[in-house]
Chain A
Amino acid sequence: MTIIKSFSNILRTRSISTLQLRQRTILHASRFYSSKVECYISTINNPYINLGIEEWLLRDTDPEKYILYLWRNKPCVVIGRNQNPFLECNLGYMQDNNILLVRRRSGGGAVYHDMGNSIYTIFMPREEFSRKTNAELVSRALLELDIPAYVNDRHDIAVDGFKVSGSAYKIINKRAYHHGTMLLDADTTTLKGCLSKKNKISNINSKGVESVPSPVTNLRNYSYTIDHQQFCESVLYEFIRDYNDGQELEKPIVFNESHVLPQRAREMAEELQTWDWIYGQTPEFTNEIEKEFSWGHVNGFVRSRHGIITEADFSSPNATGAHEVTILSAISNALRDCRYSKNAVEAAVEKINANVPGLINSENEKIVEELAQWINPRLT
């Protein structure tokens, strides 16, 4: 009797694993209820804290459990672990609009988050890991909400040929997670402003992971009523159907502002905000720029690793004045070991004034100004 039932289970859901099968069998056999499924919800909108909680859930909870974590962030751009922020996002635009830059711990490309974008994370034991399973789970959740969603070949969830969700994964020893976004009603103008490469005049050659741009759409365009609440409920429903046999969970655990977070979550949130993590994890890249000045043509080359300029070379094939040649040489040497940023040239000038006082003086200040104005915005 038990065996037949198990087989029918198999026929119904192809993607079920042996472990799950065994568990279900055991359940039937023993009628023993074990809560192997949990749900966490965060009402905090700080991306660093939310990622901190995610990390805590990954490392400090029982690896056998299946956990669903639902959250959303205030406006920010989240880049992948090995990406180059100078290449992927328009840092100037972001700074002008107070949009945070976040580097997450999972791989993948750059995405824009705001309160119209919902994020889900599903934790499972490592053996269960599959790119497709959970994407399908979520698209089924959308189907329940009358949205014709499907999973495409890049394992993204799409509606009507437009991407509505991107995914990323992280695998450690005994555990894995899949987290993904869901564009319910995000601000697409700001999104384009942050991530679009059309306006970037950049000659950056990078060793990092590059984003693959896709045309996106909001679910709002396909449903007037969808919101974060509905989305979360629907996903949770599918989740317990798949992993908990439809058994209702006890109340999901909610994190809000008043909570004292676990130690690991706090530490991780701190680390994610440091310069060393956000910029210092940037892989090696080079940038080349050039400009014609009244006194000569200048070619610039900058190499950077871990967010620090390792090599800079500004030279001119036809400038002959003593001041011009000396200033170009001074800036090239001073930029070395400065942080790669739009203030790099200021830092270099300070270094010059500290080490070789008098090199920059009233006779060549103008040249320094001209160069700074040209270089700074071109770096980022």
Chain B
Amino acid sequence: MSFARRQLFRASASIRTTTRSTSTRVAPLLAHQASNGVRTFSSSSNVKFVALRSLLNPAAPSNVKFYSSKSFPEHNVIAMPALSPTMTQGGIGTWQKKVGDEIVPGDVLVEIETDKAQMDFECQEEGFLAKILVDTGAKDYAVGKPIAVLVEDENDVAAFENFTLEDAGGAPAAAAPAAAEEKPAAEEKPAAQESSSKPASSSAPSDGDRVKASPLAQKTANERNIDISQIQGTGPGGRIVKEDVDNFKGTTAPAASASAPASTGVAAAAPPAAYAPQSATGDAFTDIPTSNMRRVIASRLTESKQQVPHYYVTVDINMDKVSKLREVLNKAADGKYKLSVNDFIIKASALSLKQVPEVNSAWQGDFIRQYNTADISVAVATPNGLITPIVTGAEKRGLSDISSSVKDMATRARNGKLAPHEYQGGSFSISNLGMFGVKHFTAIINPPQSCILAIGGTQQKLVPDETKENGFAVRNTMEVTLSSDHRVVDGAIAATWLQSFKEYMENPLKMML
């Protein structure tokens, strides 16, 4: 179907009331054309045709694929895609195509940095790259904002030299995608951005308690970056309707990018002004701009500490048998695998989660989701920040399998090459600072999980021992601390879990036989 026809479909199928951006557009469109009879249009007569339609049926403002008021040939504007369900903005990396290159669906157009990882944006449209609207290095570019222009006809490329962001209707409110849900018949080639933003727009209602809102109201709220859960509904049964959104004058802070419920759209408070010391040479401090990843870590962990009632339980683990078993197995491995203490910890945690499934849960307000399988998030420190790749189904996997999986994901995490599903989710977390000589620490829970296990280093400890001649013995001891969410896990449950974990760690062959 030609680009123009698709245009038509979209225009005619929408029954939307206009937003300010549309209403300002339609009239000038016609007026301009009338007065500029001299300007050459493309040979296609579709231009006028479509313009007329736009007047009669005011076009959906959410439709990015507009003509600008400077008569450009028909073109396709590519907007910033949401590459993960929670992505609201990203940074633009290296452009893989230059102006004039042919784009085939599946080609990588540009590298995009999301809140956690470097992603390649594969364009699903075909055409020729006519104009790049954002340069490499741009940060915090909102999802839905135009980033490039594609044309079907190679010859039209030149015409876009002076195409600007405004021409593409670059206001953030013109975010395309939510429209897609409403027009199922319209798209035969759903663009990547439309399908990926579908979850973005529906994230509002799936937030925490299911918010009752009409689809129109949801879409409108999304465009205006209003958190729909903050709006009071006046429709039947407290349903939020479009008018409520129109009338809403609350904060328009974007919804927190938490990947799951319990996000109450906490607006980031402005931090107190930092102390700025003066120095003779003028370099007493350096201001490092916060990366996406750092910002996400900041918002999620603050939210966690504020919302989740943490408490901490510690036990000592005797590591003698584990270290000996590890020695024997690694010797027998012949290089096929190398087990680390962490692998034993992951397996012991998974089996303990099976024994005490209450710890393997997520708080959801009205209900608690208790998982039947242990998907363990393992904290990995990368140069960019902390990330937690997930070992799925750890209770069923063998030690060498877990070992190779963790090593592989840690390497990829450090290179920023983890896929979103590999670090989002998980039902339990483990964080190990033992390699830094840390004896004991407490970790912050990653919501919506209920617990996180903080592992210290193995230390030598002197204990009284009657069976020995000298009356004492030396033991290798490791301190582990379980941080638990008291809404889900009571003290006795946490203690029982730790007992089970200790039993598995102190008798590791029990995990395998």
- A: residues with CB less than 8 A from B are 317, 322-323, 325-326, 329-330, 332-334, 336, 351-352, 355-356, 358-359, 361, 363-364
Contacts and interface: CB of A to CB of B under 8 A. Distances in A.
Describe B's contact surface by its main secondary structure.
Answer: helix
Contacts of A322: 323-325, 327-328
Given A323-B328, A333-B513, A361-B332, 14 more contacts: A322-B325, A325-B320, A325-B324, A326-B325, A326-B328, A329-B321, A329-B509, A333-B512, A355-B513, A356-B329, A356-B509, A356-B512, A358-B329, A359-B328
Interface of B: 320-321, 323-325, 327-329, 331-333, 467, 507-510, 512-513
B507 A329 contact: yes
Most buried by A among B320, B327, B513: B513
Closest A-B pairs by Cβ, 6 of them: A358-B332, A322-B324, A333-B513, A333-B509, A322-B327, A326-B328
A359 B509 CA distance: 10
Contacts of A352: 513
A355 B329 CA distance: 13
Contacts of B329: 356, 358-359
Contact of A355 (B320, B333, B512): B512
B324 A326 contact: yes
Most buried by A among B320, B323, B328, B510: B328
B320 to A, nearest CB: 7
Given A359-B328, A359-B332, A361-B332, A351 B513 contact: yes
Contacts of B467: 317
Contacts of A336: 513
Given A323-B328, A325-B321, A358 B513 contact: no
Contacts of B507: 329, 333
B311 to A, nearest CB: 34
A245 to B, nearest CB: 68
B513 A364 contact: no
Contacts of B321: 325-326, 329
B333 A329 contact: no
30 contacts: A322-B327, A322-B328, A325-B320, A325-B321, A325-B324, A326-B321, A326-B324, A326-B325, A326-B328, A329-B325, A329-B508, A330-B513, A332-B509, A333-B507, A333-B509, A333-B512, A334-B509, A334-B513, A336-B513, A351-B513, A352-B513, A356-B329, A356-B509, A356-B512, A356-B513, A358-B329, A359-B332, A361-B332, A363-B331, A364-B328
A352 B329 CA distance: 13
B334 to A, nearest CB: 8
A256 to B, nearest CB: 52
A193 B512 CA distance: 42
A361 B333 CA distance: 11
A356 B324 CA distance: 15
Nearest to B328: A326
Contacts of A326: 321, 324-325, 327-328, 509
Contacts of B509: 326, 329-330, 332-334, 356
Nearest to B510: A333
Contacts of B512: 333, 355-356
Nearest to B320: A325
B106 to A, nearest CB: 44
Contacts of B324: 322, 325-326
A355 B400 CA distance: 12
A311 to B, nearest CB: 12
Nearest to A354: B513
Contacts of B513: 330, 333-334, 336, 351-352, 355-356
Nearest to B468: A317
Contacts of A317: 467
Contacts of B508: 329
Contacts of A334: 509, 513
A303 to B, nearest CB: 16
Contacts of A329: 321, 325, 507-509
Contact of B333 (A333, A351, A358): A358
A333 B510 CA distance: 6
Contacts of A359: 328-329, 332
Contacts of A332: 509
B375 to A, nearest CB: 24
Most buried by A among B325, B508, B509: B509
A358 B512 CA distance: 13
Contacts of B332: 358-359, 361
A241 B445 CA distance: 89
